[in-house]
Structures are given as structure tokens and as C-alpha cells.
Chains A and B, each alone.
Chain A
Amino acid sequence: MSDSHTWIILGATSSMARAFARRVSAEGATVLLAGRDMEDMRKTAADLVARGGRAEALPFDARTPSGFDALVERGRTEPGVLNAAVFVGSMPEQSAIDADPGLIDGTVRDNFTGPAHLLHMLAPEIEARGAGTIVGVGSVAGDRGRVGNYVYGAAKAGFATYLSGLRNRLNRAGGHVITVKPGFVDTAMTWGIEGMFLVASPDAVARDILRAAAKGRNVIYTPFFWRWIMLIIRLIPEPVFKKLSI
């Protein structure tokens, strides 16, 4: 690709986002890291610069849409192809939500409506430029509501449906949307949680995402075998599923 690329990375403090940022930066893209922990993101930006890339840290809080304008404006000033990757998310324990249903709003904000709001502001720019890729990281948890994690799952399912619609929209204008559904990834979010298996490294997930982007895939599971695991889980009839605790 001869065009210069810029990636806005939302939720840039996560280890998956860091791995993704290193990869796109190594390919020559300008990276705009967006998230809440500025001190930490400045370190990631410094790391990318030391490796020969261009990077900058910018504030983004999924729960404060008033700050979105500045971020979108900053992205608009970059020439070439504008892309965005969403790694934002939060996963309170289901038991914490059961004790305080007020946590539901924040979970939906972080995983769905916050990022969707920002992507909606970015979409016209991608349409105007006639190019650009959006990577939305959801979760296999969004494929079916399970007793242990269904508020988080519901938020991710909502986000996945949003991404599907956005793909439908941007496809008309030369843009592309990839929905990524990672299985268990070896991050701070899963560290020390019981019952993890077939855990993938953040860098392997980042690599899978970029391969999928190059091929123009629409929905990917990473690692790939989660497609089959989730197919089975989705096929379990509801009368049976409601009695299970998986």
C-alpha cells in the first residue's frame, strides 16, 4: 500500500492493543493511542518511537463522550487512510453485578455504547476518504448468554450487532469492518482466573487480526478453533442450555 496509514487504537493500555500497536507501527503506520491512563500510554508511544515509528498518546474515556470530538479531530488531521481498532472493554465479575445492578450501565458503556458512539463519529470521515478499516474486538462471550458472564456477554453481543451494521454501511463507501472474537487471551484480565484453557498470547491475536484485515475477512475467531467451539455452544437447544453451567 502506497497510502500512509493511521490507526486510532481505543483502549490502548491493554496488552492486546499494545501488541497490535507494535505490529502496525512496524508496518509504517502512525499510531494514535487512546485511553485513560495517559502515563502508561506515553510509555507505549515512547516505545513505538524508539522502534522507529510515529506515535502519540491521547485521552479517551468510553464513559465521557464529551471528550470524543478532540480525538476524532486529531485523527482527521492525519492524511492517507484512517483506521481504528477498538480494544476497549471491562468485565466486572457477574457476582459483583448481581450485588449492584447499577454496574450494568458502565459495562454496556465500556463494551458497547462508548466505542459505538466514537465509531459513529468516525464513520463519515471513512466514507469521505473512501477507505479505512475498523477492527472491533468483541468476545466469544457475546455469542450466547451464560449464567457466569451474561451482562458482559450482552454488551459484547450488542457491539457485534452494531459492527455488523456498520460493515454493511461502510462497505458501500470503500471502508471495511472486522469483528474479532477472541477466545481466552493471556492478558491481565484473564491472569489468575480459574478454568482458562487453550490460552492465546496477545501477540498471536494481533497477528491474526492483521492477517484477517489483509484478506478482508468479516468476522474472525482467534485462535481459529473457537469458531467450532462456539458453533457447538450456539447449537445447544435452549431447553438444554438453560440447565447447563458452562
Chain B
Amino acid sequence: MRWNTVECTGWGRVHRATSQVARPERLSTLSATLADTPAPGVGNRRSYGDACLNGDGHAVDMTRMDRILSFDRQTGVLEAEAGLTIGALAHVTAPQGWLPAVMPGTGRATLGGCAAMDVHGKNHHVAGSFGQHVLSVTLMQGDRRVVATPNRNKSLFRATMGGLGQTGVIAQLKLQLKPCPGTVLEVRERRIECFEDFIRALDGSQADYVVGWIDAAATGAHLGRGVLEEAQLTRGDTPPRSHSRKVPMDAPGFALSPPVVRLFNAAYYGRIPPGEGRARTRRIDDFFFPLDKIHDWNRLYGKRGFHQFQCVVPLDQVAALREILVEIAEAHLASPLAVLKRLGPGRAGHMSFPMEGYTLAVDFPARDGIEALIDQLEQLCRQAGGRLYLAKDALAHGEAIKAMYSEHGDWVAETAKADPDGAYETDMTRRLTLRSAR
């Protein structure tokens, strides 16, 4: 296998790394490559920080291994190579009546990435996390092939779901899909006027898919105002989406400056009529992956990149969440849309992010002062008994993360067995010293 010197970044483009990257197209090549040089697997690098980077080391790009290996249309059981993207998978299976049970906010995440981050979607409160629908995972540890399921090699399975690729390269996954009546959703959007109303609306929603878009720049009486989106899968088809657009270059710094952001947010809120709101039918990809329509949208944040802060706090910590939102709004550093959502308890691994509670995700352009703000938010989240999402993180501290993830010790023990030499470590696991218990 030839290694190519590649300069890569996470999706937030703040962390950068130069690595020797192999890109196998067949299992035999992957196996031979890892036998010679065990190295972490990476997909489309949709995690924001440094979870997908291995600076000055090796990495195995899995994106060319993207085939569906079997698909049973009676049972909805599908096996695929880990480099297939979840959006491509949905595109193939939805017209045949099946949908991935859990899909994250981008269709460009690979199945391997979805498992390694144990991602959640807008239906987490009813469907749980991605890993809860994985029937088996095939790992390559060097040239050793190991299969783990929720029943067989159980603790290896738990260490792999949300396990940041530390148990070996995820080569194949078997998934249980869920039936879908068509390729569209019935979406209802309505205005929510303040934070307290938002919490009430999230608690009261009966829909399968629920997400809140909030204006993180609004303060005072408008704090936490936004748009609640509720959706159900429904019968019907719509024509394929028109061509996606591409961001051709890094945007200048003022593109997402506070006045522009305030204008954008006000317009986004204002487009929904007050009261009943509006209902419309939307395509699966438009609803689940709204930003994928704009290729490389991360370049809108300019060449310094951006951070996404995402935390979850327990249900009884609404006051703490409000405090976090106040800190964000008053810092005047946030960018267009923040996401607020209620999560259920579902999680598949030791290091899975979800817990029953409320999750908030906010983008921040990488400007001066942002690190101090995110430090502050990390503290508030920790005091509330919450946790940060490693798929988004670029700035957290190892000690805080270990305190937030109560099963971290079990994960350390299991990854030490699977990878005693630390061959699958990444920039993130080194930064947070995640592979050691303390």
C-alpha cells in the first residue's frame, strides 16, 4: 500500500494535521495495510475537532470502501462497508421502504464515523442512538478480524460504539433499518417566543422527529426564541433535489459578523408565521441534511475556521442550561443557528454522548475570546452533571471529560485490551489523554 502525505482538518478547520494516509479499495488491501502499519481509520472527517486527525502519524481513509454487502428487503437488515455514507445509504434504501433508524445532521458522515461517534438524530427521544441499531460490527485489529455484537464480545461492542475508533478500524457494519412509508416527511414549523416556552414545547411534543432552531444572539425577554420543527415520515414521493451549491472559497471575516448573524436569525425566525406556524412536505435529505445542499459550508467561517460547542444536561438542570444560553447570548460571538433538542436515555457505548436531558449545539467562529467562553461553558456543563460531545469538541480538557463520562474507566480497560500499543490513538485521544484512566 502506498501512503500519501495529506494535510487534513476536522470539519471546523481549526485543528490541522499532516498525515501519511492510505486509501484501500478492498478488504485484502486494508488487511495487508494494517498488518504492516496499524493506524486509525477515518471517514469523511465530519467530526469538528481533532477526533479524525492523527498528526505526524498514519491514517487509513475508508471512503473507497463503500459497498452494500447485503440487504434483506423483508427484514430491513443491511450490511455495508464502513466507508459508505449514511446519506447514500438512505438514498438507496428509502425508495425500497427502509430508512436508517438514526441519521445525524449530515448525510456525508460514513457509517464507520456514525458508529465511532454513536451519533444521534432528531428522533433520539424515540429511537435512541445509532449504535443501538447496529447488529454487528467487524473490526480490523492489525490483520486480525474481530466481530462484535451486542451479545458476542459485548464489552468490545460497547467500547466500539462511540469509541472514537480506538478498538481498531471499523470495516463493516450490519444495521437494522426501520420501515418508511415513502421518501418524504410532513413537517410542521412554529415560532417559539422564549426559552421557557421552548422547554415546554420540547417536553410536550408527540412527534417522532423534533428539533429546535434557536436564535443564540437573542437576549432579555427574547432569550431562547426560535423555531420548533416537528416531523413524521409519511407516504409519497417528490422529485430529486436540484443541484447542490458549493462554497468556492473561504469567506471574508465579516461574512458571519454579529450584525450579519442578527439579521439572518431575525429573518429565519420571521419567515414562520406567528400562531399555528406552517406545515409542508419535505424530502428526506432536505429535512435530515439541510446544510449538505451547500457543499463545503464550513468555508463560510473563513480561514480561521469555527468551533461547535455541544453539551447535554440532565432534565432537572433547565436552569443551568438557561445560564449557558445567557453566557452565549451575552458574549455576542455566536453564529447563525443553534440547535436545542430533548434527548432520551438511549446510548450504545461507554463513551456515547446522549443522556436523558436537553442538548444545545452552537457554532462560534474562531475569534479571539472564544476559548475562554468555551472554557466557561465547559465548567457550567460539568457542574450541571452534563457532558460535552466529542464529535464536536476541539477545546475541552481531559480531566473534565473523564469526569463527565462515568463509564470512561471501563472504556479504558477495554481499549487497552483491543489496542495495547496505542496504534489507533488520534490527536483527540492524545490531547485529552483519553486512553489513560486519570
Chain A residues with CB under 8 Å of chain B are: 13, 15, 18, 37, 39-40, 43-44, 46-47, 49-52, 187-188, 191-193
> Which of B3, B28, B67 is packed against the most chain A CB atoms within 10 Å?
B67
Cβ-neighbour of B3 out of A49, A50, A192 (below 8 A): A192
Stretch of B68-76, B180-188, B328-336 at the chain-chain interface: B68-76
The answer to whether the Cβ of B64 comes within 8 Å of any Cβ in the partner chain is yes
- Asked whether A46 lies within 8 Å of B70 as measured between CB atoms, the reply is yes
With A46-B68, A50-B71 known as contacts, the answer to whether A191 contacts B92 (CB < 8 A) is no
Is the Cβ of B69 less than 8 Å from the Cβ of A40?
no
Does B29 reach chain A (CB closer than 8 Å)? Answer: yes
Contact (Cβ within 8 A) A188 B67: no
Contact between A13 and B26, CB atoms less than 8 A apart: yes
Question: Which residues of chain B are near A15, meaning CB under 8 Å?
Answer: 25, 64
Tell me the minimal C-beta distance from A136 to chain B in angstroms. 22
A40 touches B27 (CB 8 A): yes
Distance between Cα atoms of A52 and B97 in the complex (Å): 13
Beyond A40-B27, A44-B67, 14 additional pairs, beta carbon < 8 A? A15-B25, A39-B27, A46-B69, A47-B67, A47-B69, A50-B69, A50-B78, A50-B92, A51-B92, A52-B92, A188-B64, A191-B4, A191-B23, A193-B2
- Cβ proximity bits B1-24 to A, threshold 8 Å, 1 near / 0 not: 011110000000000000000011
> What chain A residues lie within 8 Å of B317 (beta carbons)?
none
List of A residues within 8 angstroms of B29 by Cβ: 188
Task: Decide if B37 is an interface residue (CB 8 Å cutoff).
Answer: no
19 A-B Cβ contacts within 8 A? A37-B28, A39-B27, A39-B28, A40-B26, A40-B27, A43-B27, A43-B81, A46-B70, A47-B68, A47-B69, A49-B71, A50-B68, A50-B70, A50-B71, A188-B23, A188-B29, A191-B23, A192-B2, A192-B4
The residues of B that contact A192 with a CB separation of less than 8 Å are 2-5
Q: Establish whether residues A40 and B92, one from each chain, have CB atoms under 8 Å apart when the complex forms.
A: no
How many angstroms between the C-alpha atoms of A191 and B3 in the bound complex?
Answer: 8
Q: Are B64 and A43 in contact (CB under 8 A)?
A: no
Check if B96 is an interface residue, CB within 8 A of chain A: yes
Contact A37–B26 (Cβ < 8 Å): yes
For A44, the closest partner residue in chain B by CB is B67
Contact with A along B372-416 (1 / 0, CB 8 A): 000000000000000000000000000000000000000000000
Neighbouring B residues of A187 by C-beta, 8 Å: 25
State how many angstroms separate the Cβ of A49 from the closest Cβ of chain B.
Answer: 8
Within the assembled complex, what's the spacing in Å between the Cα atoms of A192 and B4? Answer: 4
Identify which of A43, A50, A192 gathers the most chain B CB atoms within 10 Å of its CB: A50
Which residues of B approach A to under 8 Å, CB–CB? 2-5, 23-29, 64, 67-71, 78, 81, 92, 96
Most buried by B among A18, A37, A46: A46
CB distance from A12 to the nearest CB of B (A): 12
Assess the A46–B67 pair: CB atoms within 8 A: yes
Smallest Cβ-Cβ distance to A43: which chain B residue: B67
Q: Please give me the 10 A-B residue pairs with the lowest Cβ-Cβ distance, nearest first.
A: A192-B2, A192-B4, A47-B67, A50-B71, A50-B68, A40-B26, A47-B68, A43-B67, A188-B25, A46-B69
The smallest C-beta distance from B401 to any residue of chain A, in angstroms, reads 35
Tell me the bound Cα distance from A15 to B25 in angstroms: 7
- Contact between B28 and A40, CB atoms less than 8 A apart: yes
Report the nearest B residue to A15, measured CB to CB. B25
Considering the complex, give the chain A residue whose CB is closest to the CB of B26.
A40
Chain A contacts of B27 at CB under 8 A? 39-40, 43
A-chain residues with CB within 8 Å of residue B26 when the two chains form the complex: 13, 37, 40
> How many Å from the CB of B347 to the closest CB on chain A?
29
In angstroms, how far is the closest chain B Cβ from the Cβ of A202?
9
**In the complex, residue of chain A having the shortest beta-carbon distance to the beta carbon of B4:** A192
A49 to B24 Cα, complex, angstroms: 23
Give the chain B neighbours of A51 by CB distance below 8 A: 68, 92
Minimal Cβ-Cβ distance residue in B for A40 = B26
CA distance A33 to B340 in the complex (A): 48
Measured in the bound complex, the distance between the Cα atoms of B78 and A51 in whole Å is 12
Are B68 and A52 interface neighbours, CB within 8 A?
no
Chain B residue nearest to A193 in the complex (CB): B2
Chain B residues closer than 8 Å to A49, beta-carbon distance: 71
A49 to B81, CA, bound (A): 15
Which residues on B sit within 8 Å (CB–CB) of A37? Answer: 26, 28
Contact partners of A50 in chain B: CB under 8 A: 68-71, 78, 92
Min Cβ gap B75→A in Å is 13
Q: How far is the CB of B79 from chain A (nearest CB, A)?
A: 9
Residues of B within 8 A of A18 (CB): 25
Give the distance to chain B from A14, nearest Cβ to Cβ, in Å. Answer: 8
Q: In the complex, A13→B3 CA distance in Å?
A: 20
A205 CB to closest chain B CB, in angstroms? 15
